[in-house]
Structures are given as C-alpha cells and as structure tokens.
Structure 1
C-alpha cells in the first residue's frame, strides 16, 4: 500500500514523494527526461523492492509534483542538496541511493559530499561521466533540444523515448508517451525547463565527475548498471567508474538502452535487492 506523503518542505522548495514498504531506507532517484517523475521511472521496480526495503520515491526538483526550480549553475550539487535535505526532514541518517541518469549524478554527488549519509549506491547510466569531453551523444542532443526550437511536442517526445531511451522502441506503450508528454507541457515546466545546456565552462566542469579527485577516495559500495546500447550516456562511462572507484562493481546489460530499470526489470530488481542487502 502506498504511504502518500504529499509535499515535504525542504528548505524553500516542496518535494513530492511516495513511500512503500519498511526496512532499510532506499531512495529511488529518477532521470531528467521530459515529463519524468519518480513513480513513472520506477513503476516496474517499486513493489518488488518494497518487499524488502522502505522505498522512498521523490520527484526531483523541477519535475512531477515538486517545486519547479533548479540552480542551473550547479544542477547536480543542487539536487544532491535537496536529497540530503529530504533525508534530514524524514529523520534518516543514512540511506541507500538508486539513481538513473540525472538521478544517478545526483546520488554520486551526494556520496562525494556526504559519504556518511550513503550506505550503498546503484547507478544506472549516470550523468556526469565525461561530460566535458567530446561531443554530446545523439540522445543527449534530443533531450536538451526538447524545449527549444518549435517547443515541446508529442512527436519529439515519442522520437526521444523510442530511439534514445530504450533499445527496443516498439516495447514502449503509447500510454507512457502520453503520460510523460502531458507532464512535460506543464506551463511552469515549459517556462523553467529543469534540464538544459550547461551555463558556461565552469558549470560544465562541475558536472564532470571524472575530473573530481574525490572519486578515487569514495569507498561507498557501488553497483553500476549500464545498458550496452545506451544512446544518451556512453556505456564507456561504466568501465571508467569501475576503474576509478575503490569499491565499484560493473554490470553491462546486453540489448538494453538508457532505461535499464524499465527495460530489464527482473534483472534490475534481482541485482539491486541483492546488492543492497550485501550480496556481491
């Protein structure tokens, strides 16, 4: 059964969240695609994980029912601060973090800044791995262009999800596109898009974890799951993280794109639950 928390005040922003289950707290952090939200990103995972854990699913700032404001000068730092504040308000000293893409970058940033607050991490195609090196992927270009040009449209979103988010675009029901499109055209979101091109080199460098020396000293046990056909964040980021972090396992998922938890839910749920319980 859902434990609907509604809106939780964190600093000067409201964070919408849903809770299920009991046990060690696990916070699921969603990606940054248009129309994303916590429950929509983890719809195939929450019930299974809630059989073993207290699962906390927030909408990140800028998305879903949360306040539509993000500090674009340091977006990953801002999101990490919001998550840390949410844990404070909920009275949680330490939690497991599970993050996909944008949410994975937020989780990693929080672990770097406050390692004592993070028990274990599971990261799926996290952002910020080689951000300032080379040209963006085709999928990332589509994501960042969604609110530009002629503005948001269902056609743009359909193309992004089917060709960039997943390996097999035909597997995505039209209802998923419809739901996310409706959320993406919220007037407040259109006026203040939560994800956009970095504001200058300083912001870009802040968003690149491979340049952060703290990564080599981060001993938080981490499992990285990366779709071999990820067209948003390059799969080469997986070996890069595994090579730099002292306690990092890497699982590359065949025939899978950027949305591992949705495309391969049984595999994701099994690996994640076992890892968070200490089974390697």
Structure 2
C-alpha cells in the first residue's frame, strides 16, 4: 500500500522529521497548520506539484504531527517548533529559503523571519496566526478535538466554505491520521485549556511584526471560521513590503478550496 504522506526522514536536533521534497531551484519551505490529523501531505498535496515548477519544495511534518516524532517529554510551543525548522534547514544545508506557512504554520514562518531574518528570503502566510487575537470558536473546536469520525467531519465542515470539500473520505483519512500511535497524547498536550494561552504563545507584538522587511504575501479566505480574516488586515498594516489577497466564498483551506489560484499566486510572488 502506497503511503504518499510518508516521505523522507532526517534527524533534526534530538528528533526525526518526516518531510516531502519535490522540484529544484531556490528552496521553498512549506509549514502546515495545527488541525488534528494534519500532515505536510494533507495540507499541501494539491499545490506542491504546481509550485515545484518554480522552486525546490520541502514540506516537513512538525513535531507531534504527521509522521515526525511525537515526544511527550517536551513543552510544545513556538520555541520548540521554530528550533525544529532551524535544525531542519541546517540538516539539509539550506542557508536561506522562501517560506509558505498555513495558519499555525504562518505564525512559525513569521517566527523565522523575526528571529532568524538571515535565513528567510520571501514570506507567504495563508490564513495566518501570528498577531494577537481572541481565540475563535472554530480554533477552540480544532484544538479541543477528541478522536471520532463524527467530530472530524464537524471540524472539516468548519474548515470549508464549500461543503463539497467536506467529504466522508477526507474525514476518514484525517480521522485515521489522528489515531496514529502517539498523536492524540501529543496533540492533547499542545493546546491545553485555557487555549487562549496557546494563541498568545503563537503571537507577536505589533512592534515585532513591524521589524519584518521581507517581501510578504498574505492570503486569506473571507469566510474563514478558524482564523479571523481581521488577522490579514492587521498584518498588511504592520508589514511594510506586503501584499494581501482575500478570496470570497472561501474558508480556512485556501490551498484546498482554491488550490489552482493559490498555486498561481505563490508562483507569481516567488518568481517576481
């Protein structure tokens, strides 16, 4: 049985990271979101083949997710995941890369720009966290997930504006991934109540965000019920060299609901 979600593996610091790799040229690192059952493959499978036409794409599973290590003796948070990205780049001898981050991954990409500006060229954030905001009902539901097919289908319905994407098949795939050994133990320790604390951990002050000088593209679905579209408007006001693309009739999964359009945008932005 083919498992496209399981790619290559590499030692990053004390842990092993599973990652997908496709294309050639300047490195582009894709950082997935934080929903249960997520992996680099689940998040990026529709757009990686297209975007790999303009760069060397790497998509790691973050610690605790997908098929990377799921340690139970660590403090999950911005610091741990940012260090994993640095260790990943060092292990693959990537000096500098463009970053594409989704949701929680948008915050981690922003963390790289703020903390390691010399390692980042261009920045793409999609439905991003990273700014201070009150936790939404949708995000609280995502982080509070308890494994069941019914609960997973409910989450996928929250993620999508177009309910045609909220299929039983997708729910089954994500549910199976959310019951992989060690996932729920790691996931339930990542975002404990009160979950606003985790939003705060993944956020930066306005002053920190204003230090970003990189070319930046922000992409958001107008009907996003997980990460408020207001985040995108805050970021465009704070980042000097930024552009903003809002998709109407689109929820949190721009890269799935508007896969072709999202890939075209990223290719245009990275190539310009």
TM-score > 0.5, shorter chain as reference: yes
Say if 2:217 is the partner of 1:218.
no
- Cα 1:86/1:235, change in 2 over 3 Å: same
- Cα 1:201/1:252, change in 2 over 3 Å: closer
Query: Aligned ranges for residues 179-258 of structure 1 at < 5 Å?
Result: 179-193=173-187, 195-197=190-192, 205-209=200-204, 211-258=205-252
Contact 1:73-1:198 at 8 Å conserved across structures: no
- Cα 1:12/1:52, change in 2 over 3 Å: same
Superposition deviation, residue 217 in structure 1: 1.5
Contact 2:54-2:271 at 8 Å conserved across structures: no
Write the distance in 2 (CA, Å) between the matches of 1:262 and 1:175: 15
* Structure 1 residue runs of 4 or more that deviate by more than 4 Å after TM superposition: 70-74, 198-204
Superposition deviation, residue 202 in structure 1: 7.1
Contact 2:220-2:247 at 8 Å conserved across structures: yes
Contact 1:74-1:206 at 8 Å conserved across structures: no
Query: Over aligned residues, Cα RMSD in angstroms?
Result: 2.1
Contact 1:220-1:247 at 8 Å conserved across structures: yes
TM-score, normalising length: structure 1: 0.89
Write the distance in 1 (CA, Å) between the matches of 2:199 and 2:22: 36
Query: Aligned ranges for residues 80-99 of structure 1 at < 5 Å?
Result: 80-99=82-101
Q: State the secondary structure of the residue aligned to 1:97.
A: strand
Compare 65-74 and 46-55 and name the one that shifted more: 65-74
Unaligned 5+ segments in structure 1 are none
1:7 to 6, 9, 14: 9
Deviations, residues 94-119 of structure 1 (Å, cap 9, x unaligned): 00000101111111111100011011
Q: State the secondary structure of the residue aligned to 1:122.
A: strand
Q: Which residue of 1 aligns with 2:138?
A: 139
Superposition deviation, residue 198 in structure 1: 6.3
Q: State the secondary structure of the residue aligned to 2:182.
A: helix
TM-score, normalising length: structure 2: 0.91
Superposition deviation, residue 197 in structure 1: 3.3
Q: State the secondary structure of the residue aligned to 1:55.
A: strand
Say if 2:53 is the partner of 1:51.
yes
Say if 2:172 is the partner of 1:170.
no
- Cα 1:85/1:252, change in 2 over 3 Å: same
